Chains A and B, each alone.
Chain A
Amino acid sequence: MNLLLEILSIPLVQTILKIVFMIMLFAMPLGTLMTLMERKWSAMVQDRVGPNRANVGSFRGHGLAHIAADGLKSIFKEDTMPEGSDRFLYLIAPFFGLIAGVSVFAIVPIAAPIGSFTFQITDIEPGLLFIFAITSLSVYGAVLAGASSNSKFALLGGTRASAQMISYEVFMGLALMGIFMVYGSTRVSEIVDGQNAYWFGSLIPKWGILTQPLGFLLFTTALVAETKRAPFDAPEGESEIVAGYFLEYSGMRWSAFMLAEYVAIVGVAALVTTLFFGGYHVPWLHLWESAPEWLVRVLQFAKFTAFVVFFCWFQIQLRWTVPKFRFDQTMALGWKKLLPLSLANTVATAAVILIFV
C-alpha cells in the first residue's frame, strides 16, 4: 500500500495516469459516443428512426451496439491503396488529425487542484498558443491525404482544406487576444481562475462569454471551421468532390479520419467550456462554505463534462440546421468579415481596459 502511494507520488507516473485518463477515459469514449449521437440526432432532425438494427443477442441499446459494429467492420474491411499513390504519406496522413485532436486535452483542466496535484496534464506558460500550434498541424492530415491519394477529387479537397484551415487559424488567434487581455495571461489555469471572480458582490460570474461575447462567437466559428464540419464542409463537399481529401481511404484509416473529426468536436467543446464558460468552476459554489473537498471536485468535473457534452450536441445540431457555405463564401466570410471583426474586437478590448481598468 505504501509502495503504491510512493509510486503514485512520482510526477512522471502522475502525468502518465492523467494522460491515460484524459485520452482513454474522457476524449476517446466521448468521441466514439458522438459518432452514434450524430447518427441518432440527424435521424431525429430528419424524422427517421436512425441506426437500431445492430444487436448482441437481444440487446440493441437504442443503437449502442452500432458503435461496436462500426469498429469491427472497419477493422475487417480491406485497407485499399490507390494505384500511383505516395505509399508512405498515404499511410501516415490519417493520424495527423488524430494526434492534433487529442493534444488539445493536454492543457484542459477538469477540476480544481488539490495541493500541488493538478487535474490538468500540463500547465505550460504559452498554454493556448500551444493549442494554436498543435491545431495548425492538423492541416497536414488533410493536405497529405489529398496530395498522396493520386486522385483529382482528393487533391481538390486537400487544397480546399489547407486554404480554409490556414485562413481560419489567422483570426482564431486574434479572437482570443481579448481573453488574454481580460484575464492577463496565456496560462490556462490563470484564465480559468480569472473566470471564478464575480461582478456585484457574488451575483454574476466573470465568465468569458460575458467579458468577451464577440470573441466567443468568433473563436467558436473559427474552431468549427477548423473541424471542417458543416457549414464549413467545403473540403469534403460530397455534392461536388465526393468526399474530398479522404475519398480514397477505407477501413481503419478512414475510421481514423472519422475519429479525428469526432475527437476534434470534443476538443472544441472542451476549449469553449474552459475559455468562455468558467472551465471547471461551478458558479456560486463558494457560497456553500462547508462543502467537503471531494464533493466540490466531483461537482466541478460534472459541470465541466455537462458543458462539454452540451457543446458537442450544439455542434451536431449546427451541422444539421444550417445550410453549407460555398467555398468562396467560406473564404470571403473568413477574410472579409470575421478577420476585421476580430481585429476590431482586439482594439476595442484594449481600449476599454486602458480607459476603465
Chain B
Amino acid sequence: MIVFFYLFALISLILALGVLVFKNPIHSALSLVGTFFCLAAIYVMLNAEFVAVIQVLVYAGAIMVLFLFVLMLLSTKDNDQYALKLNVSRGLAVAITGVLMIQVLTAFMDPTLRFGEPGAYPVERIQEIGSIALIGQLLFTEFVLPFEVISILLLVAVIGAVIIAKRRVP
C-alpha cells in the first residue's frame, strides 16, 4: 500500500512540475489532469472513495475540460510567451512558497503530530455507515449553515455568468 502511495505521490509531483515547465498550454493543462488523477488515487487509499470520485468528476471531468476548451479556441502557434522565465515577481513568489513549504515540512517532522487521537469517525465507522451517507448526514445537520452559504455563493456566480452571457444579446 505504502509503495502505491509513493508511486502516485511521485507521479503527481512530476506532473505538477510539468504544469509549470511545458511550453504548450494544452500540455500543461493535461499534466494538471494527471495530477488530479494521482490525487484521486491517494484519496482512494485514504478510504475516501467519494472524494476521489468527485475529484475526478468535477476537476478532471468538468473544470479542466473547460480550461482545454478555452485553450483550444485561443491557441496560438507562438507558445514562447508562456515559457518559464525568471523575473523579480516570480522570484519573490518562489521565495514565499519556499518559506511556506519549509513551514509545512517542519510541522510534519514533529512526531507528535502524526498520529493524533482518533476522531468521531474512524475508518471502521465510515465503512459501516458508508461515506456518502455520512457526508450527506453531516452536511444537512452539523454543517448545514456553511452548506447553505456555499449554495448562495454558487447561485450568485451562476446569476453573474448568465448576466455576462446576456449582455451581448441586444
Contacts and interface: CB of A to CB of B under 8 A. Distances in A.
Contacts of A163: 69
A88 B33 CA distance: 16
Contacts of B71: 147
A193 interface: no
Contacts of A88: 27
A137 B56 contact: yes
A3 to B, nearest CB: 28
Contact of B72 (A137, A146, A166): A146
B161 to A, nearest CB: 12
Interface in A115-169: 124-126, 129-130, 132-134, 136-137, 139-140, 143-144, 146-148, 155, 158-159, 162-163, 165-166, 169
A interface, over-half SS: helix
A343 interface: no
Contacts of A186: 132
A159 B131 contact: no
Contact of A126 (B73, B75, B132): B132
A158 B71 CA distance: 12
Interface residues of B, number: 26
A147 B56 contact: no
B57 A129 contact: yes
A156 to B, nearest CB: 10
Contacts of B131: 125
B66 A136 contact: no
A143 B30 CA distance: 11
B68 interface: yes
Contact of A129 (B33, B53, B65, B73): B53
Given A137-B60, A143-B72, A162 B53 contact: no
B16 interface: no
Interface string A41-52: 000000000000
Contacts of A129: 50, 53-54, 57
Instruction: For chain A, give the interface size range.
Output: 20 to 34
Given A125-B130, A136-B56, A136-B60, A143 B69 contact: yes
B138 interface: no
A160 to B, nearest CB: 10
Contacts of A126: 49-50, 52-53, 132
A166 B26 contact: no
A135 B81 CA distance: 34
A158 B68 CA distance: 10
A148 B75 CA distance: 11
Contacts of A133: 53-54, 56-57, 60-61
Contacts of A165: 65
B62 interface: yes
A83 to B, nearest CB: 13
Contact of A89 (B26, B60, B66, B130): B26
Nearest to A129: B53
A187 to B, nearest CB: 8
Interface string B33-68: 100000000000000011011101100111001101
Contact of B24 (A86, A130, A136, A139): A86
A143 B69 CA distance: 8
B42 to A, nearest CB: 15
A147 B65 CA distance: 12
Interface of B: 24, 26-27, 30, 33, 49-50, 52-54, 56-57, 60-62, 65-66, 68-69, 71-73, 75, 130-132
Interface of A: 86, 88-89, 124-126, 129-130, 132-134, 136-137, 139-140, 143-144, 146-148, 155, 158-159, 162-163, 165-166, 169, 186
25 contacts: A88-B27, A89-B26, A89-B30, A125-B50, A126-B49, A129-B50, A133-B54, A133-B57, A134-B56, A136-B57, A136-B60, A136-B61, A136-B62, A139-B61, A139-B65, A140-B33, A140-B65, A143-B65, A144-B30, A146-B72, A147-B72, A155-B72, A158-B72, A166-B66, A186-B132
